[in-house]
Amino acid sequence: MEAVAARAGVSKSSVSRVVNGDATVTPAIRDLVIKAVRELGYVPNGAARSLATQRTNAVAVIVSDPPKGLVCDDPMFSTVVRTMSRLLEAAGKQVTLMLAGSPESQLRVEQFVAAGHVAGVMLVSMHGADPLPGSLARMGVPMVSLGRSVSGVPYVDNDNVGGAAVAVRYLHSQGRRRIATITGPLDMLASQDRLTGYRETLRDTGRRSIVALGDFTRISGAEGMRQLLDDDPGLDAVFAANDLMAIGALHALREAGRRVPDDVAVVGFDDIEAALYTAPPLTTIRSPMGDQAAAAARLLLGLFEGAPGDPVIMPNELVIRESA
Amino acid sequence: MEAVAARAGVSKSSVSRVVNGDATVTPAIRDLVIKAVRELGYVPNGAARSLATQRTNAVAVIVSDPPKGLVCDDPMFSTVVRTMSRLLEAAGKQVTLMLAGSPESQLRVEQFVAAGHVAGVMLVSMHGADPLPGSLARMGVPMVSLGRSVSGVPYVDNDNVGGAAVAVRYLHSQGRRRIATITGPLDMLASQDRLTGYRETLRDTGRRSIVALGDFTRISGAEGMRQLLDDDPGLDAVFAANDLMAIGALHALREAGRRVPDDVAVVGFDDIEAALYTAPPLTTIRSPMGDQAAAAARLLLGLFEGAPGDPVIMPNELVIRESA
DNA sequence: TTGAAAGCGCTAACAG
DNA sequence: CTGTTAGCGCTTTCAA
């Protein structure tokens, strides 16, 4: 910077002003500086800038990362992270990706944020009981959660209750009368909401719930399905709380010799890529992750400008394919 | 830090030494400082540290991001990014994710690295013609490319040539005699290599190549397959350069009334999750992305310690399922 | 072994 | 509108 100042024959302050787009600079000086910057290939030092301004343009994207490497949201990871990065980068933010799984990584995240390294935080698919949102919220850093969280953090989510309701209503409208469900892990709010949607809708139709517990993995979908078949051999439909489990259910049904959708109809949730390739292709509730990620990014960016940060809930859409 | 020093009754220098694990500190002082740090919840300021040391513990993970949002490597994104992050974080590095697609983002990346914000760079799935690896290499920052790159950057890759060869040999061993291929985008080295493996192996068996150009998308796989069927209705096998295209080919074959594998055998490449759910499940070449990502992370970490940075090539494995 | 002091590169009052 | 100056919080010689 000193070199630039010297070359342009001005002071460091002027260089700083030009570089930071300060309006109060004589065009002549501005041009001189710009020329010098270009000639010297000058790039400002962010560390020094952060130190001087006590600000940063980094944003942490914190992804919950279960120790076992559960897949719950994996098919979405690319969409979510790419979409957010694109928007955040376009807004001049620098994306710092952090995995929050083990207690150590939790600590690392907290320290990192506490150290003031980031201007804001995006929480991605936190579990309901996760202590991180709470402790970060206490630090007062602008924060948005993708997927409903606890502790009053602004969030973006899809309409889990409504989506499940649509699935069940559709099944009912097709003449299905014994509609079961396979749930996600109940420590996740999304799972709870989908179960609620299923329960309430079923109750409205005067039918009883038939529930198996799953954990959003394919395996658990297959197991849940087998158990459901055991419990109630007469069931004619199943709503799986995500597509991965629906795919597992499809396999279990085939094993059991039931035809889909003739004997048993299957509806999933999420509309992941793989839902297109199953046999038969999966009827599912599309929850638009790209849109949600974008909304979350915009919400955080808005927070920086002092916007209120009201929750955003995106509607879901029933995608009818051949499994129901 | 001053507060810590005051509370411990020592100088800032001592605090700094303790915090940075300097050996030359009296245990008594060390304990005092540690206590004060804990009591005050002190977290060192990274910006100041970077400024003073002229070093940083941030690493950029640069993911090529085609404007249109091509899926070429999408199913792998989660595996790759998570694996790398985990290892990098475990080594105390901070991961900065950057998308390199548009010219502006290229520039942003270059400037960012030029500004010395990162200690090293991980390049993920760059295209062969991408100018970024070259320009970054010129800046002399430690760098590793996941997927072969140009310009002498240390890289980790799977054995694309060998994998394709295994696929073709297997097909041949099953009695297939007219083996076609659908290629990836030929501006990617991986595509070129897979094509080379196909060509050379076929030549060894004295057969001629039957080639359709694809771009790693499902659609292009279906189109390629249709074209292949047009060109050579008698073909009895196809090697798709990735699973997505193999899935597209499966659909096109069904449309055309060919049975798989009875009439036409299909082999893919990658072993993505979805390959399990197709009908019939896809025989494919497993290229272990998690292992590759881990190797890449370790390679970069090694570079920091002055290790040589020799290329790593991971072997592939034929996964036989029902499509061939 | 410890402390004092001099920066790291930049921004932001402030005076001119 | 421009230049001077005093830090931002930390590391790191250099003496003591």
pLDDT in tens, chain B (324 residues): 888 888 899 988 999 999 888 888 899 889 989 899 999 888 898 899 999 998 999 999 999 887 655 544 577 888 899 999 999 999 999 999 999 988 888 989 999 998 889 999 999 988 878 889 999 999 989 999 998 877 789 999 999 999 999 999 999 999 999 999 999 999 889 999 999 999 999 999 989 999 999 999 889 999 999 999 999 999 999 999 999 999 999 999 999 999 999 999 999 999 988 888 888 999 999 999 999 999 999 999 999 998 998 999 999 999 999 999
Band the pLDDT of A70: cuts 50, 70, 90. Answer: low
DSSP code string of B1-63? -HHHHHHHTS-HHHHHHHHTT-S-S-HHHHHHHHHHHHHHT----HHHHHHHHS---EEEEEE
Write the pLDDT tens digit of every residue in A180-197: 999 999 988 999 999 999
Write the pLDDT tens digit of every residue in A155-181: 999 999 999 999 999 999 999 999 999
Annotate B7-42 with b (16+ C-beta within 10 A) or e (fewer): bbebeeebbbbbbeeeeebeeebbebbeebbeeeeb
User: What is the least distance, in Å, from the CA of B321 to any CA of chain A?
Assistant: 15
Q: Which alpha helices (H) appear in chain A, and where do they start and end?
A: 2-8, 12-19, 27-40, 46-53, 74-90, 103-114, 132-138, 160-173, 189-204, 218-231, 243-255, 289-304
Distance between CA atoms of A190 and A183, rounded to whole angstroms? 10
Q: Tell me which of A53, A102, A277 to substitute to probe the interface with B (most B C-beta atoms closer than 10 Å).
A: A277
3-state secondary structure of A182: strand
Annotate A252-268 with b (16+ C-beta within 10 A) or e (fewer): bbeeeebebbeebbbbb
* Angle subtended by helix axes B160-173 and B189-204, to nearest 10: 40
Instruction: List the single protein residue with the shortest CA to C1' distance from D2.
Output: A14
- pLDDT for the residue A262: 97
Distance between CA atoms of A148 and A190, rounded to whole angstroms? 7
H or E stretch at B289: helix B289-304
- pLDDT for the residue B24: 85
Does the CA dihedral A266-A271-A276-A277 come out positive or negative?
negative
Distance between CA atoms of A165 and A283, rounded to whole angstroms? 14
Distance between CA atoms of B38 and B28, rounded to whole angstroms? 16
Smallest CA–C1' separation from B47, nucleotide: D9
Band the pLDDT of A69: cuts 50, 70, 90. Answer: low
Which residues constitute the domain of residue A269? Answer: 160-288
User: What is the least distance, in Å, from the CA of B175 to any CA of chain A?
Assistant: 28
Looking at chain A, how many residues does it have? 324
| Residue type for position A211 | V
CA B222 vs. chain centroid, Å, equals: 25
Distance set, CA A315 to CA A147, B113, B157, B185, B219 (Å): 13, 40, 41, 36, 28
pTM score, whole prediction: 0.91
**Mean residue pLDDT across chain A:** 91
Tell me the chain A residues in contact with residue B75 when contact means C-beta distances shorter than 8 Å.
Answer: 78, 273
Smallest CA-to-CA distance from A67 within A108, A17, A16, A104 is with A104
The answer to whether residue A35 sits within a structural domain is yes
CB B292 within 8 A of CB B145: no
The yes-or-no verdict on residue A108 having pLDDT over 60 is yes
The yes-or-no verdict on residue A126 having pLDDT over 90 is no
- pLDDT for the residue B68: 59
B86 Cβ within 7 A of any nucleic strand D atom: no
Distance between CA atoms of A92 and A56, rounded to whole angstroms? 11
Bridge pairing between strands B283-286 and B317-319: antiparallel
Q: Which residues share a beta bridge with A312?
A: A156
The answer to whether residue B26 sits within a structural domain is yes
The yes-or-no verdict on residue A269 having pLDDT over 50 is yes
What is the spatial distance, in angstroms and rounded to an integer, between the CA atom of B42 and the C1' atom of C4?
Answer: 23
List residues of chain A with CB under 8 Å from any CB of chain B: 41, 43-48, 50-51, 56, 58, 61, 63, 65, 69, 74-75, 77-78, 81-82, 85-86, 89, 94-99, 105, 108, 111-112, 114-117, 247, 273-274, 277-279
3-state SS, A308-323, equals CCCCEEECCEEECCCC
Looking at the partner chain, which of B51, B78, B97 has a beta carbon nearest the beta carbon of A47? B51
For residue A263, what is the domain's CATH number? Answer: 3.40.50.2300
Tell me the chain B residues in contact with residue A53 when contact means C-beta distances shorter than 8 Å.
Answer: none
Q: What is the mean pLDDT of residues A219-230?
A: 96
The answer to whether residue B53 sits within a structural domain is no
Number of domains in chain A: 2
* Angle subtended by helix axes B74-90 and B289-304, to nearest 10: 40
CB B75 within 8 A of CB A57: no
A28 Cβ within 7 A of any nucleic strand D atom: yes
For residue B7, what is the domain's CATH number? Answer: 1.10.260.40
3-state secondary structure of A172: helix
Compute and round to an integer the Cα radius of gyration of chain A. 25
The answer to whether residue B80 sits within a structural domain is no
Write the pLDDT tens digit of every residue in A271-289: 988 888 888 999 999 999 9
The answer to whether residue A91 sits within a structural domain is no
Instruction: List the single protein residue with the shortest CA to C1' distance from C8.
Output: B52
Q: What is the mean pLDDT of residues A91-101?
A: 93
Q: What is the mean pLDDT of residues A138-149?
A: 90
CB A249 within 8 A of CB A255: no
CB A154 within 8 A of CB A145: yes
The answer to whether residue B311 sits within a structural domain is no
The yes-or-no verdict on residue A71 having pLDDT over 60 is no
Distance between CA atoms of B83 and B298, rounded to whole angstroms? 11
Band the pLDDT of A72: cuts 50, 70, 90. Answer: very low
The answer to whether residue A211 sits within a structural domain is yes
B45 Cβ within 7 A of any nucleic strand D atom: yes
The answer to whether residue B235 sits within a structural domain is yes
Instruction: Name all protein residues with C-beta less than 7 A from any atom of nucleic acid chain C.
Output: A 1-2, 12-13, 16, 19-20, 42, 44-45, 48-49, 51-53; B 10-14, 17, 24-26, 28-29, 48, 51-52, 54
Band the pLDDT of A67: cuts 50, 70, 90. Answer: low
CB B282 within 8 A of CB B260: no
What is the spatial distance, in angstroms and rounded to an integer, between the CA atom of B62 and the C1' atom of C16?
Answer: 48
Smallest CA-to-CA distance from A177 within A199, A200, A196, A202 is with A202
List chain D nucleotides near protein: any atom < 7 Å from a Cβ. Answer: 1-5, 7-13
Contact B46 A77 (CB under 8 A): no
